[in-house]
Amino acid sequence: MDRITLAHGNGGRLMHELIDRLCLEFSNSILDEMADAAELKLGKNRIAFTTDSYVVKPLFFPGGDIGRLAVFGTVNDISMRGARPLYISLAFIIEEGLELSILDRITRSIAEASRRARVRVVTGDIKVVEKGSADKIFINTSGIGVIEDLRRKIGAKAKEGDLILINGSIAEHGMAVLNAREKLGFASGIKSDCRNLNFETGRCVAISDTISIMRDPTRGGLAGTLNEIARSSNLGIEIYEKDIPIKPGVKKICDILGFDPLYVANEGKFLCFVSKKDAAKVKKAIGKNARVIGETVTAHKKEVHLKTEIGSSRILLPLESDQLPRIC
Amino acid sequence: MDRITLAHGNGGRLMHELIDRLCLEFSNSILDEMADAAELKLGKNRIAFTTDSYVVKPLFFPGGDIGRLAVFGTVNDISMRGARPLYISLAFIIEEGLELSILDRITRSIAEASRRARVRVVTGDIKVVEKGSADKIFINTSGIGVIEDLRRKIGAKAKEGDLILINGSIAEHGMAVLNAREKLGFASGIKSDCRNLNFETGRCVAISDTISIMRDPTRGGLAGTLNEIARSSNLGIEIYEKDIPIKPGVKKICDILGFDPLYVANEGKFLCFVSKKDAAKVKKAIGKNARVIGETVTAHKKEVHLKTEIGSSRILLPLESDQLPRIC
C-alpha cells in the first residue's frame, strides 16, 4: 500500500487504517474520540465542531443535490452530539468552466437548506482551479453547535443493554445517487433521504437523559456504522433483519444489482442508542417511522450479528471497501 | 459572464462580484461584515470562526508546503479578529493515486505547524476522488478562536487618522511559489514568508485598545487588501512607496517578470491600523521588522494612493484579475 485508492475514502477498513495513521500525528483527547463532531470547551460553553467535504457525483440527484447534502450532512454531524447546530462555514473549490447557472442553483439550494435547518452561513471561501484539476465543484462545510445540557455527554460510547432505534427506512441515498450517476434508468421513484435531523435529535435529547450515542449511518451504511460503534464501545451488537425498515423498491434494486442495503449510504437516518426504560418514549419522540432494530449485548464483543428472518445468525463484517465511491 | 474563470478565484474584481452574488442568498449581519473570520456570540463567549480551502501548486515550495499553509492561513484569519486561535478542523480531498509518502509528509507538516501555533486539530474528514478529478490533494481547514476582550471589536472598519503598520517585507510567498511552479530556476533564495501571526497580533491587542482593523494581505497582495479596507471603511488610504519593505532579490525578480510586488500574495504578513497615539508602542510590540507604511485620510474616499519615491502620486487600483492563480 503506497498509493491512495478510492477505497481509502469509502468508510471501510482502508479508510480507518488511513485515519489511524494520520491521527498518530495529531493525537489528542478530543480527536481520539473519533465521533462525528468534536466536543470542545469554550469558556463556560460546550460546543460541537465538525467538518466535511462533499464530492458527490452527479451534483443533482432525485431528492437532493450537493448543496443540500453539504448543509444537512454537517448539521446532522453536529446533531449527533446532542448539540443544536447554529453556524456553518461554506468553502467552494470550483473547476474553471463551471456554468454560473449551476453555481446559482447550488447556492440557492444551500440557502434553502440552511433556512430549513435554522443555521446561518457566516463565513466562506472560494477557490478556482484549472479545467481538469477538479470535478465541477467540491464543497466543504464546517459547523458549530451548542451543547445546552452541560451534564451530559452524547456520542462517545454505547452502553450495555441499550436498545437501538432507527428513524426510518434505509439505503435510499446511495441507491438514488447510483441510479442517477450510472443512468441505470430504473423508473424506481427512489429518492435520496437527504434531510436535516436536528429537530428529531433535539426532541430525543430533551425527553431522555439515557441516550448514550447517536450516529448517522452515511458512508458504510447501517452495517458500517454499527461496526464502528461496536468496536469503539467494546460491546456486541445484535440486529433483527425483520425489523429493519426498507422500501420494497429499494430492496428490489439492491437485489438486482447485488448491493447489500445494510452497507448502502443514508443521508437522513440516525441511530439512537438508549436505555430500555426510555426506548418507548424516545421512539415516540422520533415519530411514526421509528423502529427498534436491535440491542447491545456483552457477548461477541466488537462484532455485529444479524438475526435473519429465517432465524439464523450471521456476522455483519466491517466494510472492506465500499460498494460505491463519491456518494457524499 | 456565464462560466467560472480562474479570475473568479484570485482576489480581484470578478471574485468580489461573485462573492456579492452568492452572498445575496445568505445575507446576514455576520456574513455581511466580510471579514477574514466571522465573529459569533456563543453564550457569554465571543468567538471567531473561519474557513479556507488550500489548492496551492506545487504542494511543496521553498519556505513551506500546502499543510503548513493550511494551518497558518486559518490561524492567521482568526488572529486578524483579535482572537486567540484554539481549534482547527482538517478535511482532505485526495486524488486517487497520490503517493502515501506525500500524504505523510503533508500530515507531519500540519502537525508541526499546529504545535507551533498552539492550536489543536480536533475533527477531520477524508474524501478520495478518481484520478483526474482533483489535482493531487486539496485541504480545507476551518478554525475557532476565542475573543478574550469582550469590549472590543476588531476587523470591521478602519478609522480616520489611523496609521498603517506592516510587520515585514512583502511579495515573498507569491514569488517563491511562482519560482517553484514554473521552474524558473532563479537561484534567488526567495522563500515563502508562510508563518503564523497569532503571537504577534496577540501582543498588539494586549498593548493597545485603539486597533481598528488587522488584515493579512494574501490573495491580491498589499494593494488588493488596502483597496478592500478603503472601500469597506469608506476612507482614503495613502501609502508611501519608500517605506514599504521589500527584499532586493524579490524586487529584482518582480521587475524581470513584470509583476507588481504590491499585488503579490503574502502568507506571513499583516497590516495593523491603529491610532497615531498608540502606533509607536504597537510597532515595538510587533518587532524589529515593523514599519509604518501609510495612513487613512478623508480625501479620495475608497481609493488607495501611492506616494512614489520620486514624489508623485498614483492610484493603486483594485485588482482586475490576479497575476497568478492557485497561490494558496
pLDDT at position B186 over 80: no
- CB contact at 8 A, B286 and B274: no
Q: What is the DSSP string of B33-98?
A: G--SSEEEEETTEEEEEEEEEE--SSSEETTEEHHHHHHHHHHHHHHTTT-EEEEEEEEEEEETT-
- Over residues A17-66, the pLDDT tens digits come to 898 888 888 888 888 777 789 999 888 889 999 999 999 999 999 999 99
Cell digits of residue A60: 443533482
Q: Which chain A residues are closer than 8 Å to B15 by Cβ? A: 126
Cell of B40: 459569533
CA-to-CA distance for B102 and B43, rounded, in angstroms? 42
**What is the mean pLDDT of the segment spanning B131-146?**
97
- Provide the pLDDT confidence category of residue A187 given band limits of 50, 70 and 90: low
Q: How many Å apart are CA B237 and CA A185, to the nearest integer?
A: 61
Residues of B in contact with A114 (CB under 8 A): 26
Q: Which residues of B touch A44 (CB under 8 A)?
A: 43-45
C-alpha cell at A285: 419522540
**Span B195-246, pLDDT tens digits:** 999 999 999 999 999 999 999 999 999 999 999 999 999 999 999 999 999 9
- State mean pLDDT over A55-83: 97
Q: Select from A1, A17, A53 the residue whose CB has the most chain B CBs within 10 Å, as the one to mutate to test that interface.
A: A53
At B4-50, the pLDDT tens digits run 999 888 777 888 889 888 888 888 888 877 778 999 988 888 999 99
Question: Under an 8 A CB cutoff, do A43 and B43 touch?
Answer: yes
Distance of residue B276 Cα from the nearest chain A Cα, in angstroms: 31
pLDDT tens-place string over residues A110-123: 999 999 999 999 99
CA distance B164 to chain A (A): 26
The CA-to-CA distance between both ends of chain B, in Å, stands at 25
Quickly count: other Cβ atoms within 10 Å of residue A251's Cβ. Answer: 15
In angstroms, the separation between the Cα of residue B239 and the nearest Cα of chain A is: 28
Which of B4, B114, B328 to mutate: most A Cβ within 10 Å? B4
Residues of A in contact with B101 (CB under 8 A): 2
| Helix or strand run (H / E) with residue A78 | helix A66-79
Chain A environment of B142 (Cβ under 8 Å): 51, 89, 91, 140, 142
- Our CA-based measurement puts residue B126 at a distance from the nearest CA of chain A, in whole angstroms, of 6
Asked whether A292 and A202 are in contact (CB, 8 A), the reply is no
Residue A232 has a pLDDT of: 92
Domains parsed from chain B with CATH numbers: 6-146 (3.30.1330.10), 163-315 (3.90.650.10)
CA separation for the pair B98, A3 (Å, rounded):
5
Please list every residue in chain A whose beta carbon sits closer than 8 Å to the beta carbon of residue B97: 3-4
Please tell me the predicted confidence (pLDDT) of residue B147: 92
Q: How close is the nearest chain B Cα to the Cα of A271, in Å?
A: 21
Is the bond into A85 cis (omega within 30 degrees of 0)?
Answer: no
Q: Please name the amino acid found at residue B196.
A: N
Q: State which residue of chain B sits closest to A78, comparing Cα positions.
A: B123
Nearest one of B15, B70, B34 to B318, comparing CA atoms = B15
What per-residue confidence (pLDDT) applies to B262?
A: 96
Residues of chain A neighbouring B44 (CB-CB closer than 8 A):
43-45
Residue B150 confidence (pLDDT): 67
Single out the residue of B59, B106, B73 nearest to residue B198, CA to CA.
B73
B51·A124 Cβ contact <8 A? yes
Asked whether residue B188 carries a pLDDT value surpassing 80, the answer given is no
* Residue in B closest to A35 by C-alpha: B123
- State the count of interchain CB pairs (< 8 A) between A and B: 268
Q: Tell me the sheet residues that pair with B47.
A: B40, B146
* Helix or strand holding residue B231 (H, E): helix B221-233
**CB-CB under 8 Å, B94 with A5:** no
Show the CA angle centred on residue A72, arms to residues A67 and A76, nearest 5°: 155
Interface contact B30-A94, CB threshold 8 A:
no
Contact criterion met (CB below 8 Å) for B270 and B167: yes
Q: Do A87 and B40 touch (CB under 8 A)?
A: yes
**pLDDT in the model for residue A1:** 64
Of A21, A51, A107, the CB nearest to B91: A51
Residue B322: per-residue pLDDT: 64
Average the pLDDT over B116-128 and give the result.
96
Nearest CA in chain B to A50: B123
Distance CA A245, CA A222 (A): 11
More confidently predicted of B155 and B295: B295
What residues of chain A lie within 8 A of the CB of B123, using their CB?
Answer: 30-31, 37-38, 49-51
pLDDT of A96 above 90: yes
Which candidate in A127, A147, A322 is best for mutational testing of the B interface (most B CBs within 10 A)? A127
By C-alpha distance, the chain B residue nearest A39 is B122
Residue-level pLDDT at B48: 95
> In the prediction, which pLDDT does A15 show?
87
Q: Which residues of B touch A117 (CB under 8 A)?
A: none
The pTM for the full model equals 0.96
Rounded to the nearest integer, the mean pLDDT of chain B is 93
Can you tell me which residue has the cell 480536533? Answer: B122
Nearest to B97 by CA among A7, A21, A13: A7
Query: A146 vs B3: CB contact, 8 Å cut-off?
Result: no
Of residues B121, B133, B144, nearest to A31 (C-beta)? B121
Which of A122, A131, A149 to mutate to probe the B interface, most B CBs <10 Å? A122
Closest residue on chain A to B113 (Cα): A26
User: A101 vs chain B: nearest CA distance in angstroms?
Assistant: 7
Segment A182-187 mean pLDDT: 75
